[in-house]
Structure 1
Amino acid sequence: MDRKTEVDVKRQKVREFLDRHCLAGILLTRQSSFSWYTAGGENFVAINSDSGASSILATPEKDYLISDNIEAPRIQAEEAAGLGFELAQFEWYQPERKEQIIKDLTRGGTVATDTGPLADEFSQLRYSLTEGEIGRYRWLGKNTGESVSRVCQSLRVGVKESQIAGRLSESLLSKKIVPVVLLVGTDDRIEKFRHPIPTERRLVRYAMIVVCARRWGLIVSMTRLVHLGRLPESLRKKHNAVVQVDATLISHTVPGNLIKEIFEKAVHSYRQVGFGDQWRLHHQGGATGYATRDFKATSNSTHMVQENQAYAWNPSITGTKSEDTIIALPDKTEVITEIEDWPMIQTASIKRPDILQL
């Protein structure tokens, strides 16, 4: 499926959404929405912003790129060329013109946004991935995994957490992959904090690397653990337990299954492996794709696994964690962030990553 065909498929979904809600248009301002609708285009300037530097106005008849004169040339040439978008431009020093342009193009009709009351429903249009998205996602998972593996293999006593983060950032960015979340913890910080942002601490024995990496708007999430020398028995027990929980989550992520039931199975798995209350200390993950998580699973979740939908589960037991990105295909659940030659643990259902010992 080429980009133009993919955009046409999504355009039909959006127009059905507009018709269903009697809308004259919907304004897409989020980076995630832009990337989804343009089949991998990127409209960001600031990495740390949810909003893009240009927007899309989708109407029942046409789609428009709404952009100031700074961003318009690049967006047209590099992100949306040949995809059927018409440019509506305003001068950067007249931002108030944007609102008037939208009003004129929709003849004053009702316009929704991807940040308004219909945002959650609109985001569900992207849950089931296209053939093109699955191909891009596989590339992203493979290349992110290779970067993580290379950095993990390089770890030695004395390296700073910030240096580990720098090595991974360099490897990813050289492939045009942006780390939107990057956590590195060493030794006792892994026990103390579920989200250890990198510090100047130096590695002694144990390291955890967590990354959410983005390209074409798609985001993969993964965690890997490295231990220098023999594993303590207490850590071995915890990691063997957490991968069992992860295997439960992954093996039940099948199209048609209810998220709340998958979550409840994970809670039961925590009890079975002897760590019954650990699920309370951190969320277990959930659906992903164009967000680090579209939603997080709970016992009250109303969602159902869709065909070709991506998930990133991340069960944890204090001091260890298991996380990969998967796609619930019609005939199997595929892990797209697997690392070749990484040590694995065979659970009752699938293999999950072990702690790398160097």
Structure 2
Amino acid sequence: MTDDASTGERAPGSEDGGVSEVDGLVDRTDDHLEHRRERLSDVLDGKGLDAVWFGRPNSFAWLTGGSNVVDRDADVGVAAAGYTRADGFVVVTDNIEAERLATEEVPEAFDVTSVPWYESSLAGAVADATAGAGAADFDVPGFEPLEVSRLRRPLAETDIERYRTLGRDVADALERVARELQAADTEHEVAAGLRVSLATRGIEAPVVLVGGSERAQRYRHYTPTRSELGDYALLSVTAERGGLYASATRTVAFEGAPEWLTDRHERAMQVETTALGATLRAAESGGTAGDVFEEVVAAYDAVGEAGEWKNHHQGGAAGFAGREWIATPGSDEAVEVPLAYAYNPTVRGAKSEDTVLLTDDGAEVLTRTGEWPTRTVASCGDGGFEIERHAVRSLRGE
């Protein structure tokens, strides 16, 4: 499997069996697959299907724990993983990929079959491998479309364990780069450093944003350029490993940083904290993403930034996508736990963002190392919710 060995995890795949320990790494393959089996059996029964198939990379990873990616620009990978009434866990691919996938990417519980690459498309191979009614998350002739985001929520305990490791590694990679920055560094240089820092931990980086003091004030998505950082910088990433996604932003201030930076960052932290508190209450009461959004808008009003929310989306639920859903006015998406949430409010050149696990027991910041300055921030809404948020780090004189 492809998970970085340094994470302390044993990726599902090399052995079947219960919870075991090999070379100090815990194997939770059986627990992972039992959760997927139960959830997918319910889908088959509820929809009257005989098979469900996953060819998109994040859903393939959700089911198998492995990767079907060769071309990162492709919407569908080189294999599809399925669960069928007849055969249980299965993978269909071509003869180019079959041996590698069976050896390195998927648990032994999956029966990997292949077709000659020159005889059939992946969609055709999946259709041929299905006896009866099927559904898929990509276009297969005669199949029903499969809404996979709903299937992936809420998280399983094995997902949460991997998420904690991913969040810590993403934060460590981000902060190691951020601590070494200088005002004369260019956004391109910093972005390259972030990608390398993440890659050494086996983490992909689909989103890397670096905004220096001039561009961070003008744009909410500060895609890197050759501009120097200047007085301060925002570094934002959405990073993926094993199908799970974690997002985080860090802010650093140099000599000459504007006096308003800390104040605006504080306001963004308050809005983010309000969103998290509202999400916990919505999960408890059966509320929706639209309910959370209303409280986000009210929080912007409360901190003196009325209408600022119109300039950028506010984030939402995370997991096996950068955002499983984004909070919008009137959205009826269910708010549930256990699930990760990544809200990303911006206030005129400032931004606060982390990936936070919400459960019945409360909130846990996943993207944290304990080595970055934090502040306890209170929600603007009801309930008295508080959480530690990452503050602006001053690099003056460092």
TM range (shorter): over 0.9
**Equivalent residue for 2:298?**
268
1:333 correspondence with 2:385: no
* Residues 78-93 of structure 1 mapped to structure 2, 5 A cutoff: 78-82=104-108, 84-93=109-118
Q: Secondary structure at the match of 1:324?
A: coil
What's the offset of the Cα at 1:345? 2.8
What's the offset of the Cα at 1:353? 1.3
Q: When the two structures are superposed, what TM-score results if normalisation uses the length of structure 1? A: 0.94
**Equivalent residue for 2:8?**
none
Structure 1 contact 47–180 (Cα < 8 Å) conserved: no
**Equivalent residue for 2:160?**
134
**Equivalent residue for 1:50?**
75
Equivalents in 1 of 2:179, 2:223: separation in Å?
20
Structure 2 contact 52–136 (Cα < 8 Å) conserved: yes
Q: Secondary structure at the match of 2:85?
A: coil
RMSD over equivalenced CA pairs, Å: 1.7
Structure 2 contact 214–230 (Cα < 8 Å) conserved: no
**Equivalent residue for 1:350?**
387
What's the offset of the Cα at 1:356? 1.1
What's the offset of the Cα at 1:173? 0.5
What's the offset of the Cα at 1:57? 2.9
**Equivalent residue for 1:192?**
218
Structure 2 contact 325–333 (Cα < 8 Å) conserved: no
What's the offset of the Cα at 1:275? 0.5
Residue by residue over 1:283-342, the C-alpha shift from the partner in whole angstroms, topping out at 9 and shown as x without a partner, is 100111110111111121112322211111001112011100011112111110023231
Residue by residue over 1:148-176, the C-alpha shift from the partner in whole angstroms, topping out at 9 and shown as x without a partner, is 11111110121111110111111110111
What's the offset of the Cα at 1:230? 5.4
Unaligned 5+ segments in structure 1 are: none
**Equivalent residue for 1:305?**
335
Q: Secondary structure at the match of 2:77?
A: strand
**Equivalent residue for 2:5?**
none
Query: Could you tell me which of 238, 244, 247 is aligned with 1:218?
Result: 244
Structure 2 contact 279–335 (Cα < 8 Å) conserved: yes
**Equivalent residue for 2:178?**
152
What's the offset of the Cα at 1:259? 2.0
What's the offset of the Cα at 1:118? 4.3
1:102 correspondence with 2:126: yes
Please, which moves more after superposition, 276-285 or 228-237?
228-237
Query: Could you tell me which of 72, 76, 81 is aligned with 2:102?
Result: 76
Q: Secondary structure at the match of 1:51?
A: coil
Equivalents in 2 of 1:295, 1:275: separation in Å?
24
Residues 243/342 of structure 1: CA separation in 2 closer, same or farther (3 Å cut): same
Unaligned 5+ segments in structure 2 are: 1-18, 20-27, 379-385
What's the offset of the Cα at 1:234? 2.4
What's the offset of the Cα at 1:126? 1.3
Q: What is the count of residue pairs matched by the alignment?
A: 353
What's the offset of the Cα at 1:32? 0.9
Q: Secondary structure at the match of 1:52?
A: coil
Structure 1 contact 180–212 (Cα < 8 Å) conserved: yes
Query: Could you tell me which of 135, 154, 158 is aligned with 1:112?
Result: 135
Equivalents in 1 of 2:44, 2:145: separation in Å?
11
What's the offset of the Cα at 1:81? 3.3
Equivalents in 1 of 2:234, 2:128: separation in Å?
53
What's the offset of the Cα at 1:52? 1.6
Query: Could you tell me which of 53, 59, 62 is aligned with 2:84?
Result: 59
What's the offset of the Cα at 1:231? 4.0
Identity, % of aligned positions: 35
Equivalents in 2 of 1:118, 1:91: separation in Å?
26
Residues 99/245 of structure 1: CA separation in 2 closer, same or farther (3 Å cut): closer
Residue by residue over 1:204-233, the C-alpha shift from the partner in whole angstroms, topping out at 9 and shown as x without a partner, is 211111101111110100111111025423
Structure 2 contact 183–232 (Cα < 8 Å) conserved: no
